Copies of this chain bind each other. A is one copy, B any other.
Amino acid sequence: MKTNPTLKLLASIALVVAFSAATVAQQKPCLTASKFGPDDQIGNVNYITPAKTLAATKLVTKGKSYRLAIETNKDTPAYAPRTFNVTIVQPTQVGGGSLGPTKTTYNDDMVVGWNGVGTQIDGLGHIGIDYLYYNCNKASDFVATDGLKKLGVEHIPAIATRGVLLDMAGYFNTDIVKEGTAFNRAEIEGAMKRQGIKSIEKGDVVLFYTGWLKLLGKDNKRFGSVAPGLGRDGAKYLASLDVAMIGTDTWSFEAVPFEAGAGIFEVHQILIPMNGIHILENINTEEMVKDQAWEFLFTLGPARITGGVQAIVNPIAIK
């Protein structure tokens, strides 16, 4: 990964171009400084106020709730070298033994795997720009092998806010949006108009439906190597609207192959370190699209693994 000086210079220029908007604001303590102060670890989740939550509960009109996760297991396609296994054990019961007069028996389970397998949230410690992470945190200052000392998922507050679902498959009039398709401002506004969604607001969680999960278990190679997804301009547009989180029904979240001229997972960089916006991947909104559940109460409580980078999650949407 060590490059010669010329390549290094070119890379620096690319970096400056990529984040030119940020460099204008010279008074910022660093490129990834938080709007919410030097101690902030949760980013735009700060926008989810009680008033916001209360308003979101008013969106519930039918009481139908949706679990948004796919399953996680050893066959779930995952970004290399991620793996996942569960092991079931029966401590103290070898040979058919049981406990006490009521013959209690029990199963327990161990997980040996990566948090980034299946439906997942990317915490604010997941992605950086040359080892600079969200809110001026340098990797060498907070990344330890036995857990992040800052920006871990245990800090994420209770999430209960307005969710908005954009049906990109409907917008493109297809079952499965083609890989590499990038959703930018035009596509976002087009989908909103088509669905009658008036606005995306501060503190919202925005979910994209592409139909990509239809490939899961049928064409895992295609599923896990490319995908449609959010584009750079679209990411900046949603960031300008102060959304709290953004999710898709793909593994990559952003369009792969990446947009022409884009960096590697640059959309992740725009959202996570630059804007404090959490990312959700492999969010299954198939049934919601069928029900045209476009605006809803979105709730999420990631398991509070201390120092965890990501978390396997299962958000609940209620319409």
Interface residues of A (CB under 8 A from B): 1-2, 10-11, 14-15, 18-19, 48-57, 60-74, 80-83, 85-116, 118-119, 125-131, 138-140, 143-148, 154, 156-160, 262-266, 268-269, 297, 299-318
Contact = CB atoms under 8 A, between A and B. Distances in A.
7 contacts: A57-B57, A81-B146, A83-B85, A89-B145, A99-B264, A106-B127, A118-B303
B103 A125 contact: no
Given A131-B95, A301-B313, A316-B301, A88 B307 contact: yes
A87 B100 contact: no
A124 to B, nearest CB: 11
Please tell me how many copies of the chain the complex holds: 4
A94 B139 contact: yes
Given A71-B304, A95-B96, 18 more contacts: A1-B95, A2-B95, A54-B63, A65-B299, A67-B158, A67-B301, A68-B301, A72-B306, A81-B145, A81-B146, A88-B144, A89-B145, A99-B264, A105-B129, A106-B127, A111-B305, A299-B299, A300-B316
A146 B80 CA distance: 9
A67 B157 CA distance: 6
B126 A94 contact: no
Nearest to A116: B108
A317 to B, nearest CB: 8
A81 B110 CA distance: 11
Contacts of A70: 304
A203 B186 CA distance: 44
A304 B67 contact: yes
Contact of A138 (B86, B95, B129): B95
